[in-house]
Amino acid sequence: MASVHPALVVFVLSSYSLALLPTAGSVSPKVSLALYYEALCPFCSRFIVHSLPKIFADGLISIVDLHLLPFGNAQIGFNSSIACQHGPSECFFNTVEGCAINVWPDVRQHFSFVYCLENLILENKYDDWESCFQRTQLDPKALVDCYNSGRGQEIQLQYAAQTAALHPPHQYVPWMVVNGLPLYDDYDKFEAYVCKAFDGELPNACQGLTVKKPQHMARNKANAVCVMNDTGISSSAKNN
């Protein structure tokens, strides 16, 4: 893989504040919210940039334990090689984002970097991805060392194992799981499922959020996903 070359530029999540609000129902465990995705799936990028930041903006992050797992529909081949759905560039960015999550365990830090990168991908400016270091004011050294040392590849293999262990198995990405239960194509309503799953006093962000159907496999025509065929990796596909 190509070496990472650090660069610096300033970035602010313009529409969203990443400040945590005081914890609601501190005695109750937080809700586990896991997003299984891949860096170059346009529907994953769109969700990360336009939907997921809501939990920071409205304070729902106070009851959420957020996990990002950038591997998606990739497959493990001979000698632990990885083939990604959207090619080598996606493998590169999956690894970069995995390193970001690993070296900056604070969710506010690594999410700001992932957000920045995915926003550039949406704008077809991913060649400028290194600008996210300065835009987020994060030191590139730890991430660069993670990538160049091979640690990033190890992290990808860990994500591969976690993705393969999903029950039921993931069928596409984005694949969102709340407390171990998948949301299927209803992932855009993830905040309502978080509120339903939380046992403590609900924060104000939960007001008016309801789940009208159980978590099942019925497809939501408003969303789109990147799917994988039984015979191998497919191209991006949206609902018909």
Amino acid identity at 173: V
**Nearest by Cα to 41 from 96, 86, 98, 82:** 86
Task: Give me the pLDDT at residue 215, please.
Answer: 57
**CA-CA distance, 216 to 204, in Å (whole number)?**
27
| Ramachandran region, residue 79 (left: φ > 0; alpha: ψ -120 to 50; beta: rest) | left
pLDDT, position 160 = 98
Strands 31-37 and 64-70: parallel
Residue-level pLDDT at 184: 93
Q: For residues 153 and 147, what is the distance between their CA atoms, to the nearest angstrom?
A: 8
**pTM reported for the whole predicted model:** 0.84
State the number of CA atoms in the 13 A half-sphere of 45 facing the CB: 19
Residue 228: predicted pLDDT: 80
Walk along the chain (240 residues) and give the pLDDT tens digit of each residue: 444 443 333 333 433 334 334 444 446 899 999 999 999 999 999 999 999 999 999 999 999 999 999 999 999 999 999 999 999 999 999 999 999 999 999 999 999 999 999 999 999 999 999 999 999 999 999 999 999 999 999 999 999 999 999 999 999 999 999 999 999 989 999 999 999 999 999 999 999 998 866 555 545 554 689 998 633 444 444 433
Q: How far apart are CA 36 and CA 20, in angstroms?
A: 23
Give the whole-angstrom CA distance, residue 117 versus residue 105. Answer: 17
What's the length of the chain?
A: 240
Q: What is the pLDDT of residue 240?
A: 35
Q: Could you give the domains of the chain?
A: 31-233 (3.40.30.10)
